[in-house]
Amino acid sequence: MTGDGTDPRNMRVSDAEREHVGGLLQRAVGQGMLSLGEFTERMDSVLAAKTRGELNTVLVDLPGMTLQGGPPQQAGPPAVVPSDALAPAPGYPATTDGAPVDIRATMSTVTRSGTWTAPSAIRVASKMATVTLDFSSAVLTSREVRIDVDDYCSTITVVVPEGASVDLDGVDTMGGSATNKVRSRPVEGGLHVVVRGRIRFGSVTAKHPFGTSIKRMFG
């Protein structure tokens, strides 16, 4: 308990604290402590956490982590302190779970944007839907992301940050379109998205976030 009687576990957390814990989870994936599926589940909990108690639950079983003041059930400030056992891993953490994440949409709108956790493999099955996958601020688990599409009469949009690339050569269209507004060849160190599959009477478009070209023009 703090001096004013407030339980530190009930204190509200900031975006900076969520980002810090997300970085620790990424390092844990890179060292094989978590699978990609576990990483995704825990990152969802991190983004939804409102208090320190909720935030720290994703770390308590990871070796090298300590909670100041003791475990969550005890009183004391639960600020997260990383140890040397979780030293930063170079580049992106390696994928330990190759299972793709499924996105299914029928006559609906599905959007993945902001600081969502982007797996290395995604399967999109859509019918008369709008699907947006925005990697601009995503938490990346791999430098290459594979997207398999099976679509009928939908609009699929892939948004990538400047310096990233998208390959649409593996997309077969029937009465539809595949439009690439970004570079298609991968750049060393940059995100590369490979899209393949079938588009029937729909469209798939790869582009940068709105305003990127204007920002580039004015430096």
Position 4 confidence tier, pLDDT thresholds 50, 70, 90: low
pTM strictly above 0.95: no
What is the C-alpha end-to-end distance of the chain, expressed in Å?
50
- Name beta bridge partners: 156: 131, 204
**Closest by CA position to 159, among listed 186, 191, 185, 117:** 191
74 pLDDT exceeds 50? no
Position 109 confidence tier, pLDDT thresholds 50, 70, 90: very high
How distant is the alpha carbon of residue 51 from its chain centre?
A: 22
- Name beta bridge partners: 130: 109, 155
In the chain, the percentage of residues whose pLDDT exceeds 70 is 77
**Most confidently modeled of 25-34, 65-74, 149-158?**
149-158
- What are the φ/ψ torsions at residue 90 (nearest 5 degrees)? -70, 140
Least confident of 141-150, 151-160, 208-217: 208-217
Least confident of 77-91, 97-111, 165-179: 77-91
CB 28 within 8 A of CB 86: yes
List, for residues 7-48, the tens digit of each pLDDT value. Answer: 777 888 887 777 777 777 777 777 778 887 787 788 888 888
100 pLDDT exceeds 70? yes
pLDDT of the residue at 72: 38
168 pLDDT exceeds 50? yes
167 pLDDT exceeds 90? yes
pLDDT of the residue at 95: 41
Q: What integer best gives the mean pLDDT of the chain?
A: 78
Other Cβ atoms less than 10 A from the Cβ of 62: the count is 19
Count Cα atoms within 13 angstroms, Cβ side, for 43. 26
**Closest by CA position to 160, among listed 172, 177, 149, 147:** 147
In the chain, the percentage of residues whose pLDDT exceeds 90 is 39
147 pLDDT exceeds 60? yes
How distant is the alpha carbon of residue 96 from its chain centre?
A: 15
pLDDT of the residue at 88: 34
Average pLDDT over residues 46-55: 85
